[in-house]
Amino acid sequence: QVQLQESGPGLVKASETLSLTCTVSGGSISTYSWSWIRQPPGKGLEWIGYIFDSGSTDCDPSLKSRVTISIDTSKKQFSLKLTSVTAADTAVYYCARRAVRPERFDYWGQGALVTVSS
Amino acid sequence: AIQMTQSPSSLSASVGDRVTITCRASQGIRNDLGWYQQKPGKAPKLLIYAASILQSGVPSRFSGSGSGTDFTLTISSLQPEDFATYYCLQDYNYPLTFGGGTKVEIK
C-alpha cells in the first residue's frame, strides 16, 4: 500500500523559508511525478509544483521565484522550499503522487498545516 | 493558466437525491479532467479521472462525463457519506488548476 507522509515545522516566521519533506513508502518513486498542493484555511486547492525522479521539475508561475522542489530517490523523499513567506502562505500542504497516462493524483499525504507567524 | 469554473459553489440535498456538479474550462482540455472528494480535515480523494473513468474502489453511484470545456460529476443516489466538498482538476497542461469546489450539504 502506497503511503505519503509530510514532515516539517508547523510554524514559520514571516520572511523566512518554509521547508517540507514528503516520504514515500510502499511503492516506487520512479515512473510517477510527485507534486505539492496547498489549501489555505477554508479555501480551495492550489497546485504548487511537481518533480520527477529524474529531477525534472516545474511549478506554478505565481510561485516560481520562491519555490524549489527537490528529490532524493535513495531516501524516497521529495521536498518543498518556499522562501520569503507571508501570512498568505499559511495553509495545509499536501504531497501527492501523480500517475500518468491518464494523469491523476491517486495517492495523497494526510497534509501538514504550516502557519506563518508575524 | 486555464481557469476552471465549478457550479454550484454549494448545494443542499437529501439522501437518495441525484446530484449534478458541473465544471467548465476556459479552453478545451480534451478529457483531461479529474474529480476529487474532500471531507473536513482529510486529504482529497480521487473519484474520477480522464473525465469518466471511475477510480478503483469508488462506488458506482459516482459518474463523470464531458469533454472539451464542459464536464459533469453525477452522484446517482446521494448517501450520507457523500456529504463533502468536490473539486475538479484539469490535467491538460501546466499549471494544473482546480475548480473552486462544490460543498454538498445535508438538506
**What is the three-class DSSP state of B51?**
coil
Q: Please tell me the distance in Å from A94's CA to the nearest CA on chain B.
A: 8
Cell of A57: 521539475
Q: Is the pLDDT of residue B11 over 90?
A: yes
Q: Is the pLDDT of residue B6 over 90?
A: yes
pLDDT value, residue A11? 98
**What is the three-class DSSP state of B43?**
coil
- What average pLDDT does range B19-26 have in this prediction? 98
Of chain B, the percentage scoring pLDDT greater than 90 comes to: 98
pLDDT value, residue A6? 98
Residue with cell string 518533480: A51
Q: Is the pLDDT of residue B107 over 90?
A: no
Cell of A13: 516566521
pLDDT value, residue B8? 98
- What average pLDDT does range B9-30 have in this prediction? 98
Q: Is the pLDDT of residue B32 over 90?
A: yes
C-alpha B94/C-alpha B105 separation (Å) is 32
Taking any CB pair shorter than 8 Å as contact, residues of chain A touching chain B are: 35, 44-47, 50, 58-61, 94, 96, 102-106, 108-111
Q: What is the pLDDT along chain A (118 residues), one digit of tens a residue?
A: 999 999 999 999 999 999 999 999 999 999 899 999 999 999 999 999 999 999 999 999 999 999 999 999 999 999 999 999 999 999 999 999 999 989 999 999 999 999 999 8
CB B77 within 8 A of CB B63: no
The H helix count followed by the E strand count for chain A is 0, 11
Of A44, A103, A105, the CB nearest to B100: A44
Cell of A1: 500500500
Residues 6+ apart with CB under 8 A from A38: A45, A46, A48, A91, A92, A93, A94
Interface test with B, best of A2, A3, A33, A45 (most B CBs within 10 A): A45
Chain B environment of A104 (Cβ under 8 Å): 34, 46, 49-50, 55, 91
Q: Is the pLDDT of residue B37 over 90?
A: yes
pLDDT value, residue B106? 87
pLDDT value, residue A45? 98
Cα angle A32-B72-B86, degrees, rounded to a multiple of 5: 65
Of B46, B49, B87, the CB nearest to A45: B87
